[in-house]
């Protein structure tokens, strides 16, 4: 069982290795943790090694388990079936939560995240298929090229790629069988940050 501090150090260590591809030095790890004492860092590494979470060989540190980075989960609300096809008037909170990997939410506020279940195949070339769970961050603005959940003038919602052109605003499908939608008043509900597929 890890203490709170050991868990924090293990997460920082895992993320450093996953991001940079090599083990941090004691000084680098101290900088990441805001600790200045090498002896303190050595004691934490020794504790993690004794508990079987890491193995040290010189400067090299090996992670001996599935990283916390991938294992930890958070719950976010599922808000209904949203078409990735023709716009549809279905967008309601189902009162259900979906578990997602915690790493997807890095740098984002959990309270601003929600997910939808997609209905339709207009985003298939962006690897979003019928039945997929799409994770979004609440937003009211987006850049051209981002995938967004948009509220249309008639009150319907759709998942498409936003394209800002000189002659107007378009919601572009990622499937040649569907046509772009030109809109006058754009209202963004959220921006896509991830996809979960159930096989």
Which residues are designated catalytic? 122, 160
Pairwise CA distance, residues 28 & 121, whole Å: 47
Calculate ∠ Cα 48-49-52, nearest 5°.
90
- Given a contact cutoff of 8 angstroms between Cβ atoms, the answer to whether 188 and 141 are in contact is yes
For 80-108, b where at least 16 C-beta lie within 10 A, e where not — what string?
bbbbbbebeeebeeeeeebebbbbbbeee
Rounded CA separation 173/124 (Å): 9
Longest Cα–Cα distance of the chain, Å, equals: 65
Q: Nearest to residue 172, comparing CAs of 189, 193, 190, 147?
A: 147
> What is the SS3 string spanning 105-171?
HCCCCHHHEEEEEEECCCCHHHCCCCCCEEEEEECCCCCCCCEEEEECCCCCEEEEEEEEECCEEEE
């Amino acid at each position: 069982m890890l203490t709170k501090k050991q868990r924090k150090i293990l997460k920082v260590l895992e993320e450093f290795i996953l991001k940079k591809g090599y083990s941090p030095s004691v000084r680098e790890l101290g900088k990441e943790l805001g600790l200045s004492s090498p002896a303190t860092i050595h004691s934490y590494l020794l504790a993690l090694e004794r508990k079987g979470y890491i193995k040290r060989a010189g400067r090299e540190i090996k992670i001996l388990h599935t990283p916390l980075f991938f294992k930890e989960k958070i719950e976010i609300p599922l808000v209904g079936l949203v078409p990735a096809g023709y716009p549809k008037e279905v967008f309601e909170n189902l009162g259900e939560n979906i578990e997602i990997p915690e790493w997807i939410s890095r740098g984002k506020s959990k309270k601003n995240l929600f997910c939808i279940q997609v209905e339709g195949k207009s985003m298939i070339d962006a690897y979003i298929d019928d039945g997929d769970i799409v994770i979004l961050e609440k937003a009211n603005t987006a850049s051209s090229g981002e995938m967004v959940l948009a509220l249309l003038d008639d009150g319907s919602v759709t998942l498409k790629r936003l394209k800002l052109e000189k002659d107007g605003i378009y919601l572009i499908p990622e499937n040649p069988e569907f046509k772009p939608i030109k809109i006058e008043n754009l209202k963004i509900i959220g921006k896509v940050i991830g996809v979960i597929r159930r096989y």
